[in-house]
Amino acid sequence: MPEIVTAASNRSWPAPAEPPMMEQSWHDLLFAHWAVPAERLRPLLPEALELDTREETAWLAVTPFRMSGIRWRGLPPVPGTSAFPELNLRTYVRVGEKPGVYFFSLDAGNPLAVAAARLFLRLPYHWATMTCEPFGVGTSYSSERAVDGRDPVVFRAYYEPVEGEPVFTAIPGTLEHWLIERYCLYTLRDGGLDRIEIDHEPWPLQRAHARIERNDVPAAAGVDVLPDSPDLLHFARRLDVRVWHPERL
C-alpha cells in the first residue's frame, strides 16, 4: 500500500452539528483541472455568486468517478439507485467567507437518482449512458448524454495514478488545497441561492496520468474549447462523504 503523506485538518469552518441528510462513497475519481481566464467564466455564473480566483486566474474541473453506498439518513440503500458513475463540470466560487463549488453540469448513469437530485437538491443533473471500469491499474471511463436535436455530449478517457507516487493530502496554502479541499456547494433554487454543506476526510490524492479522447462537457455548458491536455491531474481511489440539507442564504 502506498505511503500516505498527511496534512492537518483541511476544513476552515466546523461541519454542521445536526446529522447529515445522506452518505455516499466516491471511487476512482479524476480531478482534471484547466486554468481559465476569469472573464470566460464570470458571465456563466449566477449573479449572487462571486467567482473564486487564485492569482486572478479561474479554474475549471472535469471530474469522472463512480459512487456507491448512497443512502438517506436512517434508511438502507435503495436497490438500483445506490451505485452508478457520475461526471461533473465545476468551477470555484464563494459567498462571504465560505469558498465552495459551483456545478455547471452533473451527468449520472441512473435516471432515478438524477430525478431525485434535480427535485430535492435543484442541481443540474442529466441522465447519461455511462461506464466506469477498471483497466490495468487505472480506469476506463465513458459518458454519452443525449440532447434533443443536437449531437450527444460525450466524454471518454482513460486515467490512472502515477506509478510509485505516494498518496498525500493537500497542505493548506497550496494550489491543490485551494482547488480540491472545498466543503460546500452552491446552487440556485426557486429564484434564490442555496448552500449545501459536505464533509469528509482530507482527499487522499495521487498525481495522475490521463488520456482524454473526447471531452464535449465544457462546450455544452457554454465554455469555449479547452486545450486537450489539462493543467493539473490528480487521482483519488476512495472517499466517504456526508451531505447536509440545502440551506437558503
123, exposed or middle or buried, with CB in 10 Å at 0-12, 13-18, 19+?
A: buried
Residue 168 Cα to chain centre, angstroms:
19
DSSP characters over 196-233: EEEE-SPP-EEEEEEEEEEE-HHHHTTPPPPPSS-SEE
Pairing of strands 150-161, 84-95: unpaired
Pairing of strands 50-51, 4-5: unpaired
pTM across the whole model: 0.92
- Distance between CA atoms of residues 35 and 249, nearest Å: 29
Cell output for 176: 491543490
SS3 state of residue 117? helix
41 close to 223: Cβ distance less than 8 angstroms? yes
* Per-residue pLDDT at 121: 82
DSSP characters over 20-75: PSEEEEEEEEEEEEEEEEHHHHGGGS-TTSEEP-BTTEEEEEEEEEEEEEEEETTS
- Distance between CA atoms of residues 129 and 174, nearest Å: 36
Report mean pLDDT in 10-residue bins for the chain, 249 residues: 42 90 94 96 94 96 94 70 89 95 95 84 92 93 93 97 94 95 93 93 96 96 88 97 93
* Per-residue pLDDT at 3: 40
240 close to 23: Cβ distance less than 8 angstroms? yes
Q: How many residues does the chain have?
A: 249
Domains of the chain: 20-248 (2.40.400.10)
* Per-residue pLDDT at 8: 40
